[in-house]
Amino acid sequence: MKKAVWAVIILLFLAGGFMVTFGGGIARFKSQSMEPTFASGDQVWVDKLAYKFHGPQRGDLIAFYVWFGADRLINIKRVIGLPGETAEVKKGSVYINGAPIEETYVMEPADNDYAEVTVPPDSYFVLGDNRNNSDDSQGSIGFVQLKNIAGRARIQIWPVTSWRIL
């Protein structure tokens, strides 16, 4: 019995190490751009294997790399527009292919308009849930290319009292 318990503990340790090394990582929010979904300081586990067989879908919370000078940083935003779709923000609503989409997760409607754009192949139009305080596809981040996507935010792990599957 004692050997079986140790065997299980060792297997769990190895599986956890494998998942962190090859299957996921931790990302921490450092701004208010995703409020009310996440606050500054919240941490999520990112599933690095999520998009190995298919691309992101609308509504997914993706982790992606952005470069500021020589620094590569991880950012998390919500996928709004898919490759080949048109995206537009007007009068506080987001339109995909000319039709408004329902968004129950935004902090408040956007106070700006954003002219219609077509999402390029292998790219995504992303927005923060705090539309009026987010650097996203409407700003310097622009479209997020598939090759820069690190994975999908799957589990909020910090703070512990807010633990949840996304």
Residue tagged 């339109």 (tokens) = 95
Q: Is 162 a catalytic residue?
A: no
Torsions phi, psi for 121 (to 5 deg): -60, 145
d(CA 129, CA 31): 12
Contact between residue 32 and residue 131 where contact means Cβ atoms under 8 Å apart: no
Candidate list 48, 77, 123, 137, residue with the active-site label: 77
Q: Which residues pair with 151 in a beta bridge?
A: 63
Q: Is 33 a catalytic residue?
A: yes
d(CA 140, CA 20): 30
d(CA 1, CA 20): 29
Q: Which helix (H) or strand (E) holds 12?
A: helix 2-18
Beta-carbon count within 10 A of 30 CB: 12
Contact between residue 146 and residue 119 where contact means Cβ atoms under 8 Å apart: no
Candidate list 33, 123, 134, 137, residue with the active-site label: 33
The residues assigned a catalytic role are 33, 77
